[in-house]
Amino acid sequence: MKRIKKEYYFIAILLIMFILLTFFVVGGKLDMIDELFFNNVIKLENSAITKTLYVITSMASTIGILVLTILTAIIFIRKKRFSDFKYVIANVSVGVILMQVLKHIIKRIRPSWKWIKQGGFSYPSGHTISAMLLYGTLILLINKRYHGKYKKQLIALATIMIILTGLSRIYFGAHYLTDVIASIILGTIILIISSMIMNKEYGSNDKNKDRKTI
């Protein structure tokens, strides 16, 4: 009997988590938690935090992601690794399409307490999954294809950007906590699948640990 890869178990668990979360969100079972979390996050409000998070949340907007994607493409071209860039395009595109479909199926209204201009539906968070898939894919590529001096720092920076993007959406009241969690779950699933495909193309990190390819 063929052994099932552990990644499939993780994907199955995450899918169940997303289905359960969506069920509770649609039923309004988590509204109190969402409001409580926002009320605690907004206590952090000050000018410096607002300006910083506004820049971060703007970077995850449609225009922001487009600009970052173009800049990323330029870097990959200069490093003569543009073939790796297909993962960035594929993952971000899948995330955007998935978000639009889910938003129009669930049609959750945005929080009444939002204090920035934001249209459309709320669940899941498009900014969060776009940022997660852009930065997350770069983390995977850095981890598998780059073995230079600043590898850990680059991965840490990308991770921080993912976290702060999700936090910014809650801070500005544009999304509920559960919107952000849903996007993180879905983004993680996509990244796991992407990692499995990368392993087939590039091999494991152990096989490539002595090669600096970016």
**pLDDT band with cut points at 50, 70 and 90 for residue 2:** low
Looking at residue 3, its pLDDT comes to: 58
CA distance 143 to 127: 24
Mean pLDDT of 4-22: 92
CA distance 131 to 160: 11
CA distance 10 to 90: 21
DSSP, res 43: G
The type of residue at 55 is V
How much of the chain, in percent, has pLDDT values that exceed 70?
Answer: 93
Could you tell me the two tokens for 145?
A: 């294809």
**pLDDT band with cut points at 50, 70 and 90 for residue 201:** confident
- Element spanning 126, H or E: helix 126-145
Mean pLDDT of 102-131: 91
Closest CA to 86 of 73, 74, 97, 96: 73
CA distance 116 to 53: 12
Three-state SS at 116: coil
CA distance 31 to 106: 15
The yes-or-no verdict on residue 68 having pLDDT over 80 is yes
Looking at residue 136, its pLDDT comes to: 96
Whole-structure pTM value: 0.88
Looking at residue 211, its pLDDT comes to: 47
Q: Which of 54-68, 84-98, 105-119, 142-156 has the lowest mean pLDDT?
A: 142-156
